[in-house]
């Protein structure tokens, strides 16, 4: 049974890799392959869309962190559209929500970020720890 689908879309010099299903030890090679294929084309921006994930374990975290490291090394921007709360929680626990560039998903019409959308379970005013940033 297949538990992950990966779709890569291009818009000029930007690539979006969208994941649906479960990102874990058994599916990580498929994601790594899709990311490598996109990176080979040299996009200025690589967006990793996690909204379709139902589950992600520490292997998935390693995949995203490795892609972030390659992007920093190669002078490319990596932006991550956060997944549902159970997926984004993995980043918060590891404090990687402070390192990875999370962005709002595009609006349904594709004209820009959707209004009022941010990492699941957090408001723009709250810090990752839930404490007042002031």
Residue 51 domain-assigned (yes or no): yes
Residue 49 domain-assigned (yes or no): yes
Query: What pLDDT shows up at residue 110?
Result: 54
**5 three-class SS:** strand
Residue 54 domain-assigned (yes or no): yes
The pLDDT tens digits for 77-128 are 999 999 999 999 999 999 999 999 999 987 665 555 444 344 444 433 333 3
Residue 87 domain-assigned (yes or no): yes
pTM of the shown model: 0.80
Residue 76's domain comprises 24-98
Query: What pLDDT shows up at residue 127?
Result: 37
Query: Do residues 58 and 69 make contact, with C-beta atoms less than 8 angstroms apart?
Result: no
Query: What pLDDT shows up at residue 132?
Result: 37
Residue 65 domain-assigned (yes or no): yes
The pLDDT tens digits for 17-35 are 999 999 999 999 999 999 9
Residue 111 domain-assigned (yes or no): no
Query: What pLDDT shows up at residue 105?
Result: 87
Mean pLDDT on 25-54: 97
* Sequence-distant (≥ 6) Cβ neighbours of residue 38 within 8 angstroms: 8, 15, 17, 46
Residue 32 domain-assigned (yes or no): yes
Query: What pLDDT shows up at residue 108?
Result: 64
First to last CA, the chain: 49
Rounded CA-CA distance 3/10 in Å is 24
Residue 14 domain-assigned (yes or no): no
CATH code of residue 74: 3.30.750.24
Residue 41 corresponds to which tokens in the numbers above?
């084309």
Q: Which of 25-29, 35-39, 130-134 has the lowest mean pLDDT?
A: 130-134
Rounded CA-CA distance 68/76 in Å is 9
Count of domains in the chain? 1
Distances (CA, A) of 105 to 47, 97, 114: 10, 16, 6
Query: Do residues 28 and 63 make contact, with C-beta atoms less than 8 angstroms apart?
Result: yes
């Amino acid at each position: 049974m297949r538990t992950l689908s990966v779709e890569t879309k291009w818009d000029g010099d930007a690539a979006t890799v969208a994941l649906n299903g479960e990102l874990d030890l058994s599916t990580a090679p498929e994601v790594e392959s899709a990311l490598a294929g996109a990176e080979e084309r040299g996009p200025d921006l690589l967006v990793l869309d996690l909204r379709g994930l139902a589950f992600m374990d520490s292997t998935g975290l390693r995949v995203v962190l490795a892609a972030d490291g390659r992007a920093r090394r190669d002078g490319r921007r990596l932006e991550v559209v956060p997944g549902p709360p159970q997926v984004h929680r993995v980043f918060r626990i590891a404090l990687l929500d402070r390192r990875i560039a999370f962005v709002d998903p595009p609006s349904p019409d594709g004209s820009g970020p959707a209004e009022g959308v941010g990492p699941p379970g957090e408001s723009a005013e709250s810090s990752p720890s839930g404490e007042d940033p002031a």
